[in-house]
Structure 1
Amino acid sequence: MHVSRLILHDFRSYASVEIDLDPGATAFIGSNGQGKTNLVEAIDYLSRLDSHRVSGDTPLVRAGAERAVVRADVVRGDRKALLELEITPGKSNRARVNRGALPRTRDIIGVLRTVMFSPEDLALVKGDPSDRRRFLDSLLVLRTPRLAGVRADYDRVLKQRNTLLKSARGRRNVEIATLDIWDENLARTGAELVANRLRLLDALGPYLVEAYVRVAAASAPDRRTITASYKPSLDLAPDIRDQAVIQEALMDEIARRRQDEMDRGISLVGPHRDEVTLMIGDLPAKGYASHGESWSLALALRLASFELLREDDDDPVLILDDVFAELDQGRRQQLAELVGDAEQVLVTAAVADDVPGALKGHRFDVAGGEVVRA
């Protein structure tokens, strides 16, 4: 899979830009603030409907414009698809494939599949649990796009339930029947999300172990075992994957914590409270890993994702956004060797010399709002 053409209108800093892309490695070179990351962000957003830089849509639209449009020709084997996304802050976004409107914008997720590694990924190791949950759910939806609907349903139920709990806080007369309905909905959608997260970690684990060994070996041999384990907000046996069993366990825990939730006015049980614990050997990575180990682990998570998606289907488009400036020479070279056989690798860098020789395929210079093939 690769992107053969990218067209942007009023996306970020670009009023209009159109570039043709080739398989293999392509580097976008330009000083900070010139717009090189905006190009790869648009491709990644078209894949996941999520940005690695911001949580909302408003910053994606050029200042003064009402909406942004992202178009891309995507080649998959001998087939080509035109993907179009119209981003309008405050309104519903719209998506089309081959000029045909999709019933829901989220139906475009997974038509193009990307894996992006960026400096922000250090948060996967050092950041909050929400950063690791977001990583897991993003990968989950790329593998199984229908789960985007499950995640959206869960978020809606959680919001409604929190609103009810907040309004009931400190009151004795509460609509218990109404809360029971939201309890059931939370447990049902939450169980499906948890079950799929657990299965995803099972599948990702072997790739993560191998990726970390290969990345860390670039600087110093490190044979300690890497594990990523799921820590739910309830007592659940480690081998449980059955959705019905998880749903029942969620209902039991919700019932047990109900008074706490009513006192605090917030939902305390569910996948929104869960954690993914990353371990290097016997120690948790967060708080114990060195800076270099943290980078190796963050990179290994992305490379493991790439290999898992590749095993499922065609190669996803691999995006390396300003990564090489953060890595030492050994890790740079090792990374280039690990991804050199991907169908398409898109690289951004401020300095051309930061890009390893193995990834110096095609090149665009980015400056002053212009993107020029070198």
Structure 2
Amino acid sequence: MWLKNITLLNFKNYASANLSFAKTVNAFVGNNGAGKTNLLDAIHYLCLCKSYFNPIDSQQIKVDEDFFLVQGDFDRTEKNEKISCGLKRNQKKSFKRNKKEYDKLADHIGLFPVVMISPYDINLIMDGSEERRRFIDNVISQTDPKYLDELIIYNKHLLNRNSLLKQVAATRKLDVTLLQILDEQLVSSGNLIFEKRKQFLVDFIPLFNQHYTFITHDAEQVSLVYQSQLNEQRFEDLLAGSIEKDRLLERTTTGIHKDELLFTIAEMPLKKFGSQGQQKSFLIALKLAQYSYLQKFKGFKPLLLLDDIFDKLDNQRIHKLMEMVSHHDFGQIFITDTNKDRVLAVFKEIAVEVDLFNVKNGVVEHA
């Protein structure tokens, strides 16, 4: 699978742009704030119906304009697919495949798999467990449409149970029968999600270890550990045992919405004991493992978006990374960097051609 071209109208800082891409490596170079990352985000939009950085669609519309449009042609299993996304202010987002609008956006997820590596990913390490659960859910959802449906169902049941707990706190009366029904619904959905997450980590962790070892020459010992309360107890027993605490706090305190993915280096928390370079290498290995996982379970190569990844990596790790993604079974790649000469030098050194685009103040020119 590869993206042949993209057209932007009033998207972020772009009034308009129309670009055609190479099947292999495409690089956007220019100063900070020029709009390089916005081009990657437009590609992300076409693949996953949303921005990688900002969940509010209306904020993607260029200042003083009333709409945005992003459109692209993909070659997917030797068939042309035209994808378009448009939004007018105060209206519903329109998302179309081959000029036909989707009934629900979830039907698009996974058709055009993509992996983004960005400085923004540091949130995976530094922020709370919700970021790491979102990472797991994003990867699985691109390979298993039923998983995304189950997540939506679980969150609906969780909302209903939390509403009941708030009602109980206000009225001092507990409808035991209703609580039992809500618990059964939560357990049924939660168990399915737990099993899928558990199997995902079984498949994912060896891929992560392989990529981290390659990038770092096996310099450090790192690990991923999936923590879930359901590893220790049945979900129904957890809910029964925490009902008094739940009533006191007016929310459900046990379940798969509390799952965690632990990152360690030398058996210590990566957040506290990893250097900036080590943290960045960890994140890159995590995302390359995501790429390998998607390729394995989709049967074709996703797009790879690399945003400003040369920063905080030494030359050896940059070389190993570019060697890996250019020669080792990767498909179409999009890179941003502030240093044109660095990009050209890196790819010349590993004998890989790169299609270069100069970006300046929301204007893109093929170099």
* TM-based fold match above 0.5: yes
Q: 2:337 aligns with which of 336, 349, 365?
A: 349
Distance 1:368 1:304, change over 3 A: same
Letter of the aligned partner of 1:139 in structure 2? V
2:228 paired with 1:232 = yes
Q: 1:321 aligns with which of 297, 307, 318?
A: 307
Are 1:170 and 1:262, in contact at CA under 8 Å, matched by a contact in 2? no
SS at the partner of 1:23? coil
Letter of the aligned partner of 1:209 in structure 2? N
> What does 1:1-374 correspond to in 2, within 5 Å?
1-87=1-87, 92-169=92-169, 171-217=171-217, 221-222=218-219, 224=221, 226-236=222-232, 249-312=234-297, 313-341=299-327, 342-355=330-343, 356-357=346-347, 358=350, 361-374=354-367
The equivalent of 1:245 in structure 2 is: none
Inter-partner Cα distance in structure 2 for 1:72 and 1:138: 22
Deviation per residue, 1:153-204 (Å, 9 max, x gap): 2222223332332233254213333333322222222222221111111101
Q: Alpha-carbon deviation of 1:90?
A: 6.1
Letter of the aligned partner of 1:173 in structure 2? K
Inter-partner Cα distance in structure 1 for 2:167 and 2:341: 58
Are 1:306 and 1:316, in contact at CA under 8 Å, matched by a contact in 2? yes
Inter-partner Cα distance in structure 1 for 2:204 and 2:89: 35
Letter of the aligned partner of 1:152 in structure 2? I
Distance 1:62 1:166, change over 3 A: farther
RMSD of the TM alignment (CA)? 2.1
Distance 1:49 1:148, change over 3 A: farther
Distance 1:235 1:110, change over 3 A: closer
SS at the partner of 2:22? coil
Q: Which moved more, 1:135-144 or 1:176-185?
A: 176-185
Distance 1:90 1:191, change over 3 A: farther
Are 1:5 and 1:72, in contact at CA under 8 Å, matched by a contact in 2? yes
Are 2:194 and 2:230, in contact at CA under 8 Å, matched by a contact in 1? no
Inter-partner Cα distance in structure 2 for 1:90 and 1:255: 44
Q: Alpha-carbon deviation of 1:371?
A: 1.1
Inter-partner Cα distance in structure 2 for 1:230 and 1:270: 14
Inter-partner Cα distance in structure 2 for 1:63 and 1:177: 53
The equivalent of 1:246 in structure 2 is: none
Q: Which moved more, 1:276-285 or 1:304-313?
A: 276-285
Inter-partner Cα distance in structure 2 for 1:7 and 1:66: 17
Are 1:150 and 1:193, in contact at CA under 8 Å, matched by a contact in 2? yes
Deviation per residue, 1:275-301 (Å, 9 max, x gap): 011233433323222222211111110
SS at the partner of 2:56? coil
Q: Alpha-carbon deviation of 1:52?
A: 2.9
**Number of residue pairs the alignment of both structures matches:** 359
Deviation per residue, 1:19-59 (Å, 9 max, x gap): 11120100011111111111111111222234332233232
The equivalent of 1:242 in structure 2 is: none
Inter-partner Cα distance in structure 2 for 1:210 and 1:198: 19
Q: Alpha-carbon deviation of 1:331?
A: 1.4
Inter-partner Cα distance in structure 2 for 1:82 and 1:44: 15
Inter-partner Cα distance in structure 2 for 1:60 and 1:166: 36
Distance 1:257 1:280, change over 3 A: same
Q: Which moved more, 1:202-211 or 1:78-87?
A: 78-87
Distance 1:207 1:14, change over 3 A: same
SS at the partner of 2:229? coil
Gaps of 5+ in 1: 238-248
Over the matched positions of the two proteins, sequence identity in percent amounts to: 28
Distance 1:50 1:192, change over 3 A: farther
Inter-partner Cα distance in structure 2 for 1:88 and 1:266: 37
Distance 1:15 1:304, change over 3 A: same
Letter of the aligned partner of 1:292 in structure 2? G
